[in-house]
Structures are given as structure tokens and as C-alpha cells.
Amino acid sequence: MKDKGIKIVAIGGGSSYTPELIEGYIKRRAELPIREIWLVDIEEGKEKLDIVGNLAKRMVKAAGLDWEIHMTLDRREALKGADFVSTQFRVGLLDARIKDERIPLSHGVMGQETNGAGGIFKAFRTIPVILSIVEDMKELCPDAWLINFTNPAGMVTEAVMRYGKWDRVIGLCNVPIMSCKIAAGAIGASDKDLFFKFAGLNHFHWHRVWNKDGVEVTGDIIKNAYSTPEGMPTALNNYKKTHEPDEVEEGGSAIKNIPDIGLLAEQVQDLGLIPCSYHSYYYITDDMLKEELESFAKGETRAEVVKRTEADLFELYKDPGLSIKPPQLKKRGGAYYSDAACELVASIYNDKRTEMVVSTKNNGAISDLPDDVVVEVSSIITRSGPMPLSWGSFKPAARGMLQLMKNMELVTIEAAYTGSYAKALQAFTINPLVPSGRVARDILDELMVAHKMHLPQFADAIKKLGQ
């Protein structure tokens, strides 16, 4: 790898996020002797792949680099001899996400991309595809690292390890980076002057914070951000004041995908931990559902908004005079995406020992969960992969939810792998955002039929539904 230069493959290369990725690699040109980058997509994504690939070529040329940028629909051709493979694809494209959100909401149930019924079905569609990618990697690039950004990132990473038998995989998300920025803003500090420790699952983690004197400031952050309705907006404003405009997502929210609705102060104070933004779906479900139902009624679910935003972005990307990541990409969400993905690659390649929050095998980091399951934890990134930092045990309030959610993930993954309708129903029943009983079964059946084209493992079950 060091002698010949690095070969990087991005599966889902026609994504609107790809300019973020290219920008991140360009910023790290001194650390990464890249030889070639392959952008891979499917036939349905060919037009977007061509548009994004040509923009990537212009970006690389404008940076004065001689990297080869290849666009292809042939995944196997791209994977030959790869050193790093990143995945950022969406099976069924954004139309599938719209179904994941709107079908549950039509039953008065939470509809969200990675949580609840929608998140489970995204896993059902994605896991068979990621496992097929792994089989190709075993043959064509057995020493490569798989950097997974495809949601639901934790479950996809778990499936790769558990059923793909591939340990050189790391799941990644930009939410922890945003969480650090917002927490620092709550006490008027820079995140660079604080030490953060995360533990939990992807989109379901908590964290604690210390200052550079070794004094824990978690309580101060909770007091400032969660005790009053003005707390979180103040933290956001402080964050925005200390960052360049192109580092801040447009709109008022901490995480672009999630409405800003205040958590219950007493609950967060009792936890003594700072929750992930996605915890809003579990801590204040009624408020979040009300917000979603209002958007649903207006035809403005997050997926529908994103689809319109992406259409505008690709019109911008077509401009032959454009050779940088356009600022309008902030509307899409995903701030710090490139920092997470590209820094992870740089840290592995150079054995930098960078501290990052990743989805990886527990290996004792969280004592409340088995060693062999995938968790999202603060880790030191080495050439050998992530070395998770020990967290220990959670108190009962967080521990109970964590263990429930991890087991829900395991049942979901097993259902996706085996094609068992009964296990799919069990996953729905365990999930806190899905009502049990007939409502769960009705939503399950409707989603099965709606996505049947992308659920070959459930073909027998769907046939029994008369479809």
C-alpha cells in the first residue's frame, strides 16, 4: 500500500455527499498518497454518478493533484486491489426512504430513517447488499478496510461482523462530532479544549465531558443546555459563533434531520449523561410524533424535503465551472461527514492513534453488553483498527434502554439475514417506537409489500401476503 499509493473505492459514489468526501481527502493530501479513487453506483444512479464524478475530477484538478478518478457501475472491477472501501448507499434510493417515513405515519406511528419501523426496513434492504459487497471484498481486496457510513450504521456494521465474518469494518457517523460542538457551546468553550467519552449504540449513545484540567463538566453542560427552553438555542448559537460558516449546517437544528424540541430537564439531570440528539425519539416520543405528523400532512417529511434539496444540488453540480464543494450542500445535512470518514482513513493508514467515536466490537468497553456485539464508543484508531476505551456500566435508566435496543438490533439483523417474517415481527414488537400487536403487523405487511422489489430474502413471506 505504501509503495504503490492508495486505492480508495466509494460505493454509492453518485451520492450528493461525495463532494464532501473528495474535499476531505484533498485536505489530507499530505497524509494520504492517494493513487486512485473509484466511484461506484448502480444503473439507476448512473446519471448522478456521472455528474458527481465529473465534479470530483474538477475538484482534484483545481487542487493541483494527479489522482485518477474513475466512475463505474462494475463494483467488482472497482474493488480489485482496493485499500479502503467506503459505503454510502441507499437501497431503493430516496423513494424508499419516503415509504419508510410515510407508511408508518399513515398509521399514526413514528416514521424515521434509522429509528422505528422505517429504520428496521432500511436494515432489511441494506444488509443483504452489504453482505454481497463483503463477499466480493474477500475475493478481490482481502486486506482492505471497510468504512461504513450506510445507515443504520450500527446494524449494518454488526451484520458485516456477525454474518459476513469480516472484522476489518468500522461504522461511522457524524452525530458524535456535532454533539461535541454543541456541548462545548453550552459552556462557551471550544471542543478542542474538552475531552469527550461516548458509549452506546449508533444514534443511541450518551457522553460525558471533562475540561483540560481534568474536571468533569458534564453537569454544567446539562444545566446550561437542558434546564431551560433557551438552553439548547444558546448552545447552538455559541457553537455557530466559533465556527466558520461552511462548517455549520443551515437551519437552527443541532442535527439537520432532527427537529429541535427540548428534552425534559429532570430526566436528563437524573441521567447525569448527555444524550444523543436521536434520543429525542425515545425520551419525548409524543412531541416528536406530533411534529412528524404535521410535516406528513403537508407532504414535507424529511425524506421529501431531502429529495427536493438533492435535485437542486445536482443542478449545481452540473456547472462545468464548479470545482469546489458548493455551500448549498449544508442544506442536505451531514456536516463533518468528510472529517469523520477521511480522518478515519488517515488515522488507520498513518497509525495516528486519533481518538474517534466509531461502531466497532465491544470487547468489554461497555460491561452491560456482550463482548462480541457492535457498539458505538470512543476509540483510539490504530493501524490495526479501533481500540475502544473502557466505559464500564450504565445506571439502570440508561442500561435498560441500551440492552433493549441492542437486542432489538440483533433480532432485526437476524430477520434481515434469514428472511424470517416471524423474527421481523419480533423486531417490531421490541422496538419502543412501534406499537405491538395488529398495528405492528399491519405496518410490517404494508412495508413488506411496498419494498418487495428490494427484499428478496422475504419473497416467501410476501407471497403469503398475496403479493
Average pLDDT for residues 397-423, to the nearest whole number? 98
* Residues annotated catalytic, as ranges: 278
**Which residue would you say has higher pLDDT here, 334 or 227?**
227
Per-residue model confidence (pLDDT) at position 255: 56
**Which residue would you say has higher pLDDT here, 101 or 233?**
101
Residue 12: phi, psi to the nearest 5?
A: 95, 30
**What pTM, to 2 d.p., does this model score?**
0.93
Per-residue model confidence (pLDDT) at position 466: 82
Using the predicted structure, report yes or no on whether residue 379 has a pLDDT greater than 90.
yes
Using the predicted structure, report yes or no on whether residue 168 has a pLDDT greater than 70.
yes
Using the predicted structure, report yes or no on whether residue 248 has a pLDDT greater than 70.
no
Per-residue model confidence (pLDDT) at position 46: 96
Using the predicted structure, report yes or no on whether residue 330 has a pLDDT greater than 70.
no
Using the predicted structure, report yes or no on whether residue 383 has a pLDDT greater than 50.
yes
For residue range 86-132, list pLDDT tens digits in order.
Answer: 999 999 999 999 999 999 999 999 999 999 999 999 999 999 999 99
Per-residue model confidence (pLDDT) at position 136: 98
Residue 132's contacts (CB-CB under 8 Å, 6 or more residues apart) are none
Per-residue model confidence (pLDDT) at position 321: 94
Per-residue model confidence (pLDDT) at position 261: 76
Using the predicted structure, report yes or no on whether residue 245 has a pLDDT greater than 50.
no
Per-residue model confidence (pLDDT) at position 1: 46
Average pLDDT for residues 290-300, to the nearest whole number? 94
Mean pLDDT for all residues in the chain: 92
Per-residue model confidence (pLDDT) at position 241: 63
Average pLDDT for residues 30-57, to the nearest whole number? 97
Closest CA to 149 of 301, 383, 371, 339: 339
Residue 250's pLDDT band (boundaries 50, 70, 90)?
very low
Residue 338's pLDDT band (boundaries 50, 70, 90)?
confident
**The residue to which cell 425520551 is assigned:** 283
Task: Say what percent of the chain tops pLDDT 90.
Answer: 83
For residue range 67-90, list pLDDT tens digits in order.
Answer: 999 999 999 999 999 999 999 999
Using the predicted structure, report yes or no on whether residue 258 has a pLDDT greater than 80.
no
Residue 252's pLDDT band (boundaries 50, 70, 90)?
very low
Average pLDDT for residues 214-238, to the nearest whole number? 81
Give the highest mean pLDDT range of 154-163, 307-316, 331-340: 154-163
